[in-house]
Amino acid sequence: MALPHDRSGLLWNDGPTARFTKSMERWINAMYSDDPSDTDVITAGQSVSRIIAKEDGVLSGRPVLDYLIENYCNGATTEWNFTEGQGFQKGQEIASIVAKSDEILKIERICMNLITRLSGIASTTSKWSEQLGGVYLAATRKTNWGVLDKWAVHIGGGLTHRLDRSDGLMIKENDFSMSKLTLEEILSTFRTATDFPVIEVVSSDQALSVANSWIELQSGLSTTYQLTLMMDNLGPENCREFSDRLVDMGLRQKFVLEGSGRVRWENLQDWAQSGVDVVSSGSITMEPRMIDMTMLMEVSK
């Protein structure tokens, strides 16, 4: 099943899109401004900086480092030994950078912060996805570094989910409480407003009510979209029961079922048997385990 949760095409199209590039620019400028490192350095001239892995992982952050080095190191050259998304092992050299010593020292910490965090998210995503088998893993909008975190999830084999509130329509508890529209009126706007409609449901009864209303509204239409039911905090067992119920009603293919809430490494095998199409978790971006790397520098001869 093709899922609308993959929005990576908005970030990469034969290269980084304007949206991705602007995100890189904002985060890098913020990091550089917060840690300007304007002190003089003893060593002048050029140096070679080698990024070495101190543990196994999956590489993410290569286009971000390319952007950083291109814009903050005049005339620098970078040689990458791994492609974005490729696995590496402890002790392997990820990349080497030839640059002016004073310029590379100013961004050394930014380089390492970026590549260790993004590679950590990609590595965790890859590991979790293997545990889930045929169930997809998606990020949520709970991220610390926004689009950069979403990119790392994509590189690790996960799905980005929505990039912002306008990228697909999601109706959650607060939206229901603030809206003057009925459920039927809300669902009616979904039919033409978006290709990625999502409704958060907090009980099996609510999910069934939404499902029945959606099927009724879709009746007779030539073009229809699958509605995503985001089943919040229902757990793997309740999600399995609801999925089976939709199968019995002959409606399962009309919906994307998304499990969310309390998704952890310890219960991924339960989610793999839950009957959902995708699970979404903020843990992979909000609690990432950095991949340990080091940057070793020496004077260029």
Q: What is the pLDDT of residues 84-131, one digit of tens each?
A: 999 999 999 999 999 999 999 999 999 999 999 999 999 999 999 999
The pTM (predicted TM-score) of the whole model is: 0.93
Cα distances (angstroms) measured from residue 32 to each of 35, 68, 106, 110, 210: 5, 10, 8, 7, 48
Question: Considering only the top CATH level, what class is 17-126+289-299?
Answer: alpha beta
Q: What is the pLDDT of residues 163-209, one digit of tens each?
A: 988 887 788 766 666 666 677 777 777 666 677 889 999 999 999 99
pLDDT at 222 over 70: no
Greater confidence, 77 or 177?
A: 77
Q: Quick one: pLDDT at residue 172? A: 76
Q: Is 180 helix (H, G, I), strand (E, B) or coil?
A: coil
Greater confidence, 299 or 241?
A: 241
pLDDT at 219 over 90: no
What pairs with residue 259 in β-bridges? Answer: 231, 279
Homologous superfamily assigned to 131-286: Aldolase class I (3.20.20.70)
Q: Quick one: pLDDT at residue 193? A: 66
Q: Quick one: pLDDT at residue 146? A: 93
Greater confidence, 155 or 222?
A: 155
**Domains of the chain: which residue ranges?**
17-126+289-299, 131-286
- Crossing angle of helices 235-249/204-218, nearest 10°? 30
Q: Quick one: pLDDT at residue 185? A: 75
Residue 38 binned pLDDT confidence (cut-offs 50, 70, 90) = low
